[in-house]
Amino acid sequence: MSILDSGFILGHYNYWVAIILIMIGLYTMMAKRNLIKKFIGLNIIETAIFLFYISLGDVTGGIAPIFQKESGETVGNTILYANPLPSAMMLTAIVVALCMTALALSFAVLIYRQYGTLDARKLMEEL
């Protein structure tokens, strides 16, 4: 299948969204001078990764992976359900991202109290 095929592009739209978000995040991290904006860029990247993983686990027509007997489409005798592993992984990754955000914000608060600015260029001259 060619890369320029419209079916290829539309069929993988979840990956394209993740890629675009990651690029936006990287740009924010590199181009913005405010320390908190830099970190927001990182948060965008992390969110993009969560979306990417969760879209991995989706199965067309599948139900939420909770044990129940009646609902859900069946193939043969098997009930189709979404892959729970990526979601479980992302739960852990969200916790990690949360810790990182809390740490970064408290650093930023303390840095602002010490220097009175969050401008990365002025601050890096101090180092």
Binding site for other proteins (CB under 8 A): 22, 29, 35, 38-39, 42, 45-46, 49, 52-53, 56, 64, 66-67, 85-86, 89, 91-93, 95-96, 99-100, 102-111, 114-115, 123-124, 126-127
Q: Which is nearer to other proteins, 9 or 99 (CB)?
A: 99
Q: Which is nearer to other proteins, 6 or 89 (CB)?
A: 89
CB 72 within 8 A of CB 62: yes
Quick one: which of 112, 115, 50 has its CA closest to 87?
50
Q: Which is nearer to other proteins, 10 or 124 (CB)?
A: 124
Q: How far is the CB of 63 from other proteins (least distance, A)?
A: 12
Q: How far is the CB of 80 from other proteins (least distance, A)?
A: 16
CA dist 113 and 103 (Å) reads 16
CA dist 4 and 99 (Å) reads 41
Q: How far is the CB of 115 from other proteins (least distance, A)?
A: 6
Handedness of CA 24, 26, 32, 37 (dihedral sign): positive
Quick one: which of 55, 59, 50 has its CA closest to 15?
55
Q: Which is nearer to other proteins, 9 or 105 (CB)?
A: 105
Q: How far is the CB of 109 from other proteins (least distance, A)?
A: 7
CA dist 14 and 56 (Å) reads 9
